[in-house]
Structure 1
Amino acid sequence: MNPTYNIKHIKVDFTDHIITSNGVELSIDLKAVMVLQMLIEHEGTTVHSNDFMDQVWHDKPSSPEVIPAAIARLRKMFKQAGISEDLIVTVHKVGYRFEAPIDANNTTNITPPDNKSTHKTLVWLLLIALLGSLAFIYQQNRQETGKSISSANQTSKIIEESKSNVTQIYILRHTEKADETSENPVLSPAGIARAKYWKKVLQHTSFDQVFTTEFKRNIQTANLIASNSSVKPEMYYPMSFDVVNFMNQIKGQTVLIIGHSNTIPDMVNRLINETKYPPMSHQNYNILYTITINENGETSSSMLHIEMPETT
């Protein structure tokens, strides 16, 4: 089978046994990933419980209860990643079946990541069409003005205009603060450790802009997470946050926003123009919101629960 599959915004890498949502690695154990691999390999077909035991737990004698436990972890992971459909169907006293989510055109959203031959063919066709258009423009302008035009400049302009214009937004609350009684405390040692962990989670993300409120704990969180991006955080004020101006400002960029538990869910809902996410618990520091706006203006979002390992 192909080593990588996409389930909406979730990418499953069976080579490294890693599952990511919008580029952020999800917390899931190896056995559960192996169960998911078997289900996807037999998509639409029931996989018998005995087959799971033979292939996933062959190296370690285990009771059959490990299978529903792994299924429960997968369902929880999908739900936390923003997929509301139950992708795994329980077939009573037999096993489990994987059913891919269906889009509006009744085509599966689980697909191999690429089709190199088709992709190359399309690229060559586009290049041929582009060169033909440039040749026609060249001849027309030469006949009308007696001047030649630079095909290199034309190509550069076309390429520039066709660049991807995807906007990616990551939103986190500040990490733990040192003093609950102070009006403007700095981060506690636990908060510093968590901010460094978020930096590790987002280590492959380069931010074009970073936004934070004026509080010390937020500024400190932003600086720790985005230290590799060499971007100075900009201040924003939740009570006067202008969604339209903000979206115009960050169009085509990857940005990080550091906020507060009592302001972030409302901000995310306003950015996606949908009442989707509930209030956040004051005690919860494990949630990462992601918003993606593609070049067609289509928006997708997710709320990820990412626990920090105790040893980090």
Structure 2
Amino acid sequence: MKNLIILLLFLFVGQQNIYAQKTIKIWVVRHAEKDVSNPKDKDPDLSPLGKERAEALAKYLKGEKIDSIFSTNYKRTRLTGYPTADKTGLTIQTYDPATHSELAKNLIKNAEGKRMLIIGHSNTVQEILVAFGAQKPVKELTEDDYDYIFELTIKGDKREVKVDRYGAEHHTKE
């Protein structure tokens, strides 16, 4: 009888694990520093410091087993993701920043168990996190904030955002 109860307990726990929701992990960053030498250029490359930051992002995410990389269709966002894409063998997928809520809905529905990097802009990074159901983790991102990285963990209805910085400190912390 005791063995039967233990067997039933193991079967029940096994069934619960099968139906348990898998975690989605998403790192969200703003593009690295852009080249501002030509103010008329609406789609600039990265500056030398930005290129260093893009390399620092790849180093920061090393070992995280990223499954997908998403970027807006601007040079500065794609160039920020290229070192990570090169090291992981992934192709950067583009998304329209105006539809980040659609991206979030699609990923929540179809990306259980996946680990992703999303590269946006100072005015969209926190909106992306909100689209996934998280709270804004910092009061505001300014044009000087390039070194934040937000790690969003989604499991079922729970959302957790960890805030960190990567690469060279861009500006003095308050």
Bin for the TM-score computed over the shorter chain: 0.7 to 0.9
Alpha-carbon deviation of 1:264?
0.8
Normalized against structure 2, the TM-score is what? Answer: 0.79
Q: What is residue 79 of structure 2 aligned with on the other side?
A: 220
- Equivalences for residues 1-312 of structure 1 within 5 A: 128-129=6-7, 161=18, 165-179=22-36, 181=39, 182-241=41-100, 242=102, 243-294=104-155, 296-308=156-168
Which residue identity lines up with residue 153 of structure 2 in the other structure?
Answer: T
Q: How many residues align?
A: 161
Alpha-carbon deviation of 1:131?
9.1
Deviations 1:115-161 (A, max 9, x none): xxxxxxxxxx9xx526975xxxxxxxxxxxxxxxxxxxxx9xx6983
SS in structure 1 of the partner of residue 132 of structure 2: helix
Answer 1 or 2: higher relative contact order, Cα 8 Å, separation at least 6: 2
Alpha-carbon deviation of 1:224?
1.2
Alpha-carbon deviation of 1:276?
4.4
Retained in 2: the 8 A contact 1:208–1:254? yes
Compute the RMSD of aligned alpha carbons.
Answer: 2.9
Normalized against structure 1, the TM-score is what? Answer: 0.46
Which residue identity lines up with residue 298 of structure 1 in the other structure?
Answer: K
Which residue identity lines up with residue 116 of structure 2 in the other structure?
Answer: V
Measure the CA separation in 1 of the matches of 2:167 and 2:90: 26
Retained in 1: the 8 A contact 2:122–2:141? yes
User: Which of 255-264 and 176-185 deviates more?
Assistant: 176-185
Residue segments in structure 2 that go unaligned for 5+ positions in a row: none
Q: Percent identity?
A: 24
Which residue identity lines up with residue 86 of structure 2 in the other structure?
Answer: S
Which residue identity lines up with residue 246 of structure 1 in the other structure?
Answer: L
Alpha-carbon deviation of 1:267?
1.6
Residue segments in structure 1 that go unaligned for 5+ positions in a row: 1-124, 134-154
Retained in 2: the 8 A contact 1:269–1:276? no
Which residue identity lines up with residue 68 of structure 2 in the other structure?
Answer: Q
